[in-house]
Chain A
Amino acid sequence: MSRRSRSNAGTTYVNNVRGPTSALTSFLNERGIRRANPAPAPAPVTTPPEEDIELEEDASNSQEEAASSSSSTPAPATSLSRPTRTARLTRGRTLPTPSASTSRSNDGDGVDDGSDSDDDSDDDSDSDNKNLIPIVVSASTARAARATRSRASAAASSSSSNTVASSSIASSSTAKAKAKAAAASKKRPRKKDASDDSNDEDFHDITGHISRSSFSHKGRLPQGSNKIVFCSRCRARFTLKAGTTPAVDEDDGGLLCPTCAGTGSPGPTKGTLPKAKPVKRARRKAQKAEIECQIPSLQDLCIQKIANSIEDVEAFGDISAVSLDKICKIICRNRSLNADTLQLFLDSRHSELIIYDCTDITAVGLQNIAQFCPNLRSLKLKLCGRITNEVMDYYIEHLTKLTSLTLYGPILIIEPTYIKLFETIGERFEKFELKGSSRFSLKATKTLCDNCPNITHLRLADCNLMDDEWLEPIAGLTKLKSLRIRNPEPDKLTTSAVVKLIQAVGSGLEELELKGCDGLTDEVLVNAIRPSCVRVERLNLSGCEELTTEGVETLFKDWTVNPGLTYLNLENCVMLKDEALIAATEHSGATLEDLNMSGMDEITKDALQTLTRCVNLVDLNVSWCRAVDDDIMEQLVEAAPRLAKVTVWGDHRLTECCTSRIGLKIIGREGDYVDLRFI
């Protein structure tokens, strides 16, 4: 019963919860439970080639040894004592039939194998709500393991408990176990056609009506795709490509990942499973080194050192502005920037100053900035909650060359101060960035737009009072090149007002950000951005959840007036499907350098393959695009020589052995963080 309800929960996740940050998802993540790779039942009729069976058995052998060694005791004891592992293994393991002597298995990690059942694909088309998401426990900590264990045993105590127990034993292929399994399968009420292979039956019952599941990841993968198996030597996962024969370990006949196969000799992993622990550790270290393969520059090493002993530094002397900025960044992060250390960064020669964290700087310290750096043209103060109206007045009086001002979180600054600032600074003002102010008002906005016509960069984020009326004066800023409106209060900005604004200023914009404007509809894309934003290079639409595939497709299709985007962010535009990505890569493929499609869960492998058009890609975020696998990664690495960073959180098909190269950072790969012992 509990099994059933759990699979229902999974269904809810797929249908109603939009995006990876839902409460349920976070809960599951927190507990270390993740959605299993869908392993739809093998086709009732298709029999995998013999060779395949052997391979799979081999792959599972190494896995099973640990479990089966303990499962030589009678069934119920096993299932209770080690339910986590048992349940997990059962899912991917073959259940023996009373008739067949060859056990048949899904591959170890539950990736679709080529023989997906036909009924599955039929169901795919009509609905999503009957699907099954088997839960896999991938606990990386003991606590998580405990938490899941109790759940797993709950599942085991349900109607399928017999099956779970017996099947786990069955994997040790003892005659006794087989008999038990047979008995179990007889007890079970038959839910499918009698002609069904009883293997499938077992599987279905344990995981709950998989035949009815329609939300299948299979849809995201072409038929006969690769499968993920475990290396028998280092126990890392790797992708077994369809149609290829992997290397086989001479000692125990298990499969070998390319890394182990490449070394030829047992190398550091000499020895068998009992010694697996140190082996894994060595491997993980190597992976870490791979991730941080680049040797830090001497500058960075020095900067790190200096930042660590910032209290002892009397003056920086003649170091470059870049280094100075890096030091500032590090000590802000260390929270060691205070009024004393701030002095190190103040110099009358500076024309630019960025303070990344002003939390520890008193009002007097902030006032010193204007005193010691009177020639500042650009001032950026982040987390400047302590800046007072008096300090701002002082800035207004003394920073006579200021053209650019950025304030993050100036909670004490009130409307008249802003008005005074804009009136004083007037036409000189070019960039204004404000984040997190609930006192910046319509009146201040109007003053800004009336007094400072030369504004080229305007960024307003988290301004609580912002509504449609603000956009009217902003539409008068004809010199705008960069406009960012981020996280307005829900329902304060309407589509029609935003459309009007973009139509007015869009032609000059090089950058447009509408992050978190979640009420916006396709009209913004079709009626505003497409006709107006001919020069836009950077487009950020993250969190605009209402955007649909059709809208994005219309925007990019034959958008010839725009020569191509260099930056595109569609994070958490959860409704977008393949066509949207295909249209985007078709339009901007050659120019894109930075693409964020995190959370676009619906994307399939077909669309991901079009990413190979993006030959100039440097930074790619494909987190939570579940269809990303080693194959896609390989193609990407090959297609985009400049690729330097790929973020892959939640892409469980990506194994530790996926293709990489020196200089390419892969962030969030599951195998680098999850302890393989628990998989």
Chain B
Amino acid sequence: MSSLTPAESEYVTLESSDGFQFVIHREVAMLSGTVKNMLSSPGHFTESTEGVIQFRDIKAIILEKVCKYWYYKARHLNSVTEIPHFEIEPEYALETLMAADFLDT
């Protein structure tokens, strides 16, 4: 486990503006166009070498929602059965939308 470099690890860490860290699967995070670009862009950016991405504009509560959505999407991506609804609280809808806009999700 420890022998893996961050770039090869199957997890990445997302850090919210208020300091919370979310460790999620790399391939799940890659569902976001923005994160994908950050992690796979050529050259030695901190994000791709360290496997940690900081979002200065996204609060933890929103980032959590976004991570949940990624897992929801990854789980149901090729499902043929009925897909359950993904619930978003109305009070966070606007902020989540802004984050989603940014993350291209």
Which residues of A come within 8 Å of B, CB atoms? 285-286, 288-290, 293, 295, 297-299, 301-303, 305-306, 308-309, 312-313, 316-320, 323, 662
Contact = CB atoms under 8 A, between A and B. Distances in A.
29 contacts: A288-B82, A289-B82, A289-B83, A290-B80, A297-B100, A298-B86, A298-B103, A298-B105, A299-B97, A299-B100, A299-B105, A301-B69, A301-B86, A301-B88, A302-B88, A302-B96, A302-B100, A303-B97, A305-B90, A306-B97, A309-B90, A309-B93, A316-B94, A317-B98, A319-B98, A320-B101, A323-B97, A323-B101, A662-B78
A70 to B, nearest CB: 35
Contacts of B81: 286, 289
Nearest to A293: B80
Contacts of B73: 295
A640 B42 CA distance: 34
Given A301-B86, A308-B90, A319 B97 contact: yes
B93 A302 contact: yes
Interface in B60-105: 66, 69, 72-73, 76-78, 80-83, 86, 88, 90, 93-94, 96-98, 100-101, 103, 105
Nearest to B78: A662
Contacts of B105: 297-299
Contacts of A662: 78
A299 B93 CA distance: 9
Contact of B101 (A301, A305, A319): A319
A298 B93 CA distance: 10
B82 to A, nearest CB: 5
Given A289-B82, A299-B101, A309-B93, 8 more contacts: A286-B80, A289-B81, A295-B77, A298-B96, A301-B88, A302-B97, A302-B100, A319-B94
Contacts of A299: 97, 100-101, 105
Contacts of B78: 662
Contacts of B90: 305-306, 308-309, 312
Nearest to A326: B97
A236 to B, nearest CB: 15
Nearest to B70: A298
Contacts of B103: 298
A305 B93 CA distance: 6
Contact of A289 (B66, B80, B94): B80
A448 B94 CA distance: 43
Contacts of A286: 80-82
A383 B93 CA distance: 29
B94 A306 contact: yes
A317 B73 CA distance: 27
Contact of A305 (B72, B77, B82, B88): B88
For A289, A301, A312, which residue has the most chain B Cβ atoms within 10 angstroms? A301
A447 B69 CA distance: 55
* Closest CB pairs A-B (n = 9): A302-B97, A305-B93, A298-B100, A298-B105, A299-B100, A320-B101, A298-B69, A302-B93, A306-B93
A377 to B, nearest CB: 23
A50 to B, nearest CB: 38
A218 B73 CA distance: 46
Contacts of B72: 295
For B72, B73, B90, B94, which residue has the most chain A Cβ atoms within 10 angstroms? B94
Nearest to B99: A298
A229 to B, nearest CB: 24
Contact of B66 (A288, A298, A318): A298
For B80, B93, B97, which residue has the most chain A Cβ atoms within 10 angstroms? B97
Contacts of B80: 286, 289-290, 293
B53 to A, nearest CB: 17
Nearest to A322: B101
Contacts of A285: 82
A318 B98 contact: yes
Contacts of B88: 301-302, 305
Contacts of B86: 298, 301
A605 to B, nearest CB: 30
A345 to B, nearest CB: 14
B77 A302 contact: no
A320 B34 CA distance: 15
For A285, A306, A312, which residue has the most chain B Cβ atoms within 10 angstroms? A306
A305 B100 CA distance: 13
A147 to B, nearest CB: 34
B32 to A, nearest CB: 9
For A288, A295, A303, which residue has the most chain B Cβ atoms within 10 angstroms? A295
A651 B88 CA distance: 39
A289 B66 CA distance: 23
Nearest to B81: A289
Contacts of B77: 295
Contacts of A298: 66, 69, 86, 96, 100, 103, 105
Contact of B94 (A293, A295, A302): A302
Contacts of B97: 299, 302-303, 306, 319, 323
A317 B94 contact: yes
Nearest to A309: B90
A146 B14 CA distance: 62
A306 B90 CA distance: 7
Interface string B28-65: 00000000000000000000000000000000000000
For A288, A290, A299, which residue has the most chain B Cβ atoms within 10 angstroms? A299
B64 to A, nearest CB: 13
A317 B93 CA distance: 12
Contacts of A290: 80
Nearest to A297: B105
Nearest to A320: B101
A293 B93 CA distance: 23
Nearest to B85: A301
Contacts of A319: 94, 97-98, 101
Contacts of B94: 302, 306, 313, 316-317, 319
A317 B78 CA distance: 35
Contacts of A308: 90
Nearest to B76: A295
Contacts of A295: 72-73, 76-77, 83
Contacts of A288: 82
A259 B101 CA distance: 39
A3 to B, nearest CB: 44
A267 to B, nearest CB: 12
Nearest to B98: A319
B66 to A, nearest CB: 7
A94 to B, nearest CB: 37
